[in-house]
Structure 1
Amino acid sequence: MSFGLALFAALALQATPAQAPAVLQAPEQIVHAARGFVLTVPAGWSAVPLEDGSGLTLRHGQHDARIEAFAVATEPSGVPGLPDDSVDALALRLDGPGISRISRVRLPLVMIGESGDRLQAGETVALSYSGASEGRTRSGLAATRCGADILLTFDSADEAAAGVQADFGTVRESWALILTGGSDFPC
Structure 2
Amino acid sequence: MITRRHFLNTAAATAGLAATSVNAQGYLIPEQQLPRIVRIDRDYAPGEIHVEPGNFKLYFMFSPGMAMEYSVGIGRAGLYESGDFIIQVKKEWPSWTPTPEMIERDPGSYLQYEDGMEGGINNPLGARALYLFKGNRDTFLRIHGTNAPRTIGSAVSNGCVRLVNSHISDLYNRVPLNTRAVLH
**What TM-score, normalized to structure 1?**
0.32
**Which of the pair is proportionally richer in helix?**
2
